[in-house]
Amino acid sequence: MGRKALAARYIHGVSNVVKPNSSKKPAAAGLRPAADLPSPAAVNAAAASFAGLTAKLDYLSVPDLAQVRLAYRYADQAHLGQLRNSGEPYITHPIAVAAQCADWKLDAQALMAALLHDALEDCCVTKVELIERFGSPVAELVDGLTKLDKLHFSTREENQAESFRKMLLAMARDVRVILIKLADRTHNMRTLSDAPRDKWARIASETLDIYAPIAHRLGLNQTYRELQNLAFRYLRPWRYAVLSKAVTKSRGRRRDLIQKVHEEVDTAFANSGMDVRIAGREKTLYSIYKKMEEKHLTFAQVTDIYGFRILVPSVIDCYTALGTLHQLYKPVPGKFKDHIAIGKLNGYQSLHTTLVGPSGVNVEFQIRTEAMHLVAESGVAAHWLYKVNTPQGTGDWLGSKWLQSLLDIEDETRDAAEFWDHVKVDLFPDAVYVFTPKSQIMALPKGATVVDFAYAIHSNVGDRTLAARINGEQVPLRTEIKNGDVIEIVTAPGAAPNPAWLGFVRTARARSKIRQHLKTLAQTESEDLGEKMLAQALRAEGIEKLPDDTGSNRLLWEKLLRFSGNKSMSELFLDLGLGKRIAGIVAKRLLTLLTDRGEKPDALLLTRERYTTNEAVAQGGVVLDGSESASIRFAPCCGPVPGDAIVGYLGRGEGLLVHAADCAVAQKLKLKDSERFIDVQWSDEPVRPFETEVRVTVINGRGVLARVAAALAAAEADIIHIDMEDEAAQDATDLRFVLAVRDSKQLEAALSNLRRTQSVLRAQRAKSVQ
């Protein structure tokens, strides 16, 4: 459409102006109703904007270009009469977003969605109308973007978790959604100066905390750097201005040096006969600021502000160019990185080397091919720049593994806060590169442990991990891996994830898999415990065993489930095992149902149960041997060990908690919730040691701790943890030990050894007693 026609539509179409219902965007893309007719200059600006967009669409087919023009006309009509905060027609914003998408060579559907991305919310257009006019794929993209626009982020994680989850999952299902959203956010940030100043900090913080890391994770480095710089400009305007002035002055001072390096490098490559393209590279203001802040440097101490990028035809030329540079200038030891042989997680590939240039100034060089440069700047968008046909079809393009992992984690984690906890560590992927015993390279986040490595291989390997070797030496599972490590995982069929692993694993995949396994295990154990408790309670009512779920008994169980409000027997047993229901009450109801159909309690069994309550084990009570997992826990307040008299408390939704019988906490609970206590006893053969705490009062002096540790070792008690008073050294001090012992006899032997040790004043168990 020509400018005259467009101006005519503005002039003659005022009565049909679509007014926005609300001021939609908190960002610079905010719109306002037009108080007056747009000026001719504004109309010309809108026409010029679309003319500039069409000039970038030469890669589209004629039918696709026609569809984009239709979407533009529809969006232009929908936004007619709406103005941005700057006073420009609102349509200039969707055009600018589409232009950014065109730079990435996104397909026609994405460009149409970019032009229409505000139509649903601002212009009373419905999704059905978009489907009828432009097809379902475009409507789904616009709908996804509209839902993202409705999300309001907060720096407080508990508030932003659900919003962040929705955004990441929309991105994972179709990456074009987030590409259009990043283009939208980039244009908003470029025009943020037109927004009210009181909104700058919130919008800039949101950009820095959420959108810039996503752009980085997807390899959109040019967008990442621009978003960081723009956010810095509005978040710290004074610091931005000062640093910008300093960089400008530095640029002037170092112009001769940079020119000299450029000429010498150009001459070196010309003499070697290599066809290269040399480009200068300047560190962004935000990255300079972060380096100064993190390393406590002055601006003068930041030496790597300027660098060079060498673009060559092929991969082998990258290494040839490296040799040429190393012949020209001496390399700085330890400052070479080969990201071609081992690429970064987001697809980035390049050789990095720092050389000592003229006047002793360090200069960084990046060497890559043109294709690598495309990926380095455009990341996941290079999928379209490479003219791959469909964004959903290939599955193995850049970033797809991370995006797929989001969907996998979502399948395993329905809690938004937990999902955010899993994902946030993957947004900043400083990587380490390690090898399997078969020399396969694997990239993991910095700080990852051997358990993360095991889960990166396969979830079954992680779940069955027993031990690990790094470079042939056995190491603890919490050991952090380093670049170049060769890691071997030792597995065993009976091994299982340990809850303590959650304290040191680094990757979202490992964390979600461990939690999923523990939840499944806890549920299974709680069901078994609940069934056992109901059977025990029913025996106390004189019924030998639980009726099975067959034949006439099926109706019986249906009535009991209606009474309890559960959908299945498994759910009822789970509620009993978790303490959400009282086994005695359910057993009485089951007895009533059995009595109604003619069954009577066994009088002999009833009498025996009443007079042998302390022999619950023989009657099918809960037996503890240490193999229990999350469904049964041992109270830390008293630390019961085999040989102690114990009681079991069924907390509401917490499973079974085992206390020593003389524990003060247990006694108080008994007065308040006596019906929640059940019979528990130790097995004759526990399968593991149990932890308990002892307090030792000693006279301060050289070698005291060594003597105490030797006394415990003599009793074969393992020291799990030591805690000392924080106060300054005094004549006497308390040491608190967490010990692992087989039973109360071994514990008493350890305490006796301690009491006979020189400098020990007192040694006793640390537990609450009545």
Both structure tokens of 540: 């106390």
φ, ψ for residue 741, nearest 5 deg: -130, 160
- Give the angle subtended at the CA of 505 by the CAs of 504 and 507, to the nearest 5°: 150
Please, which residues have CB within 8 angstroms of residue 223's CB and are 6 or more apart in sequence?
Answer: 182, 186, 215
Rounded Cα gap, residues 172 and 161, in angstroms: 16
CA 413-417-421 angle, 5° bins: 80
Q: How far apart are CA 75 and CA 68, in angstroms?
A: 10
Measured between alpha carbons, how far is 423 from 671 in angstroms, rounded to an integer?
Answer: 45
State how far the Cα of 598 lies from the Cα of 602, in Å rounded to an integer.
13
Q: Which residues are catalytic?
A: 121-122
CB 711 within 8 A of CB 659: no
Contact assessment for residue 469 and residue 435, using Cβ atoms and an 8 Å cutoff: no
Closest CA relative to residue 564, chosen from 573, 554, 555, 551: 573
Residue 734: partners with Cβ closer than 8 Å, 6 or more residues away: 695, 696, 697, 724, 725
Contact 288, 247 (CB under 8 A): yes
- Say which residues have a Cβ less than 8 Å from residue 356's Cβ, sequence separation at least 6: 329, 330, 331, 332, 362, 363
Checking 206-209 for CB contacts under 8 A at 24+ apart, the result is 206/153, 207/231, 208/232, 208/235, 209/153, 209/155
Q: Distance between CA atoms of 507 and 429, rounded to whole angstroms?
A: 10
| Helix and strand numbers, DSSP H then E, in the chain | 31, 22
Q: Are 533 and 678 in contact (CB under 8 A)?
A: yes
- Helices 508-540 & 416-424 angle (0-180, nearest 10): 150
3 state SS of 334:
strand
**Whether 484 contacts 434, CB under 8 Å:** yes
**SS3 state of residue 600:** coil
Q: What is the identity of the amino acid at 408?
A: D
CA distance 722 to 434: 35
Cα 534 to Cα 617: distance, rounded to the nearest angstrom? 14
Both tokens assigned to 729: 């050294």
Burial label, 344 (beta-carbon count in 10 A; 0-12, 13-18, 19+): middle
Which residues lie below 8 Å from residue 13, measured CB to CB, with a gap of 6+?
A: 77, 80
Which burial class, exposed, middle or buried, applies to 661 when counting CB atoms under 10 A from its CB (0-12, 13-18, 19+)? Answer: middle
380 backbone dihedrals φ, ψ, rounded to 5°: -65, -25
- Cβ atoms of 622 and 532 within 8 Å: the answer is yes
Residue 76 neighbours by CB distance under 10 Å? 22
Q: State how far the Cα of 547 lies from the Cα of 545, in Å rounded to an integer.
A: 6
**Alpha helices by DSSP H, 254-284:** 255-272
Extended beta strands in 569-713, E state: 622-624, 632-634, 646-651, 655-660, 677-678, 680-682, 690-699
Q: Distance between CA atoms of 431 and 447, rounded to whole angstroms?
A: 9
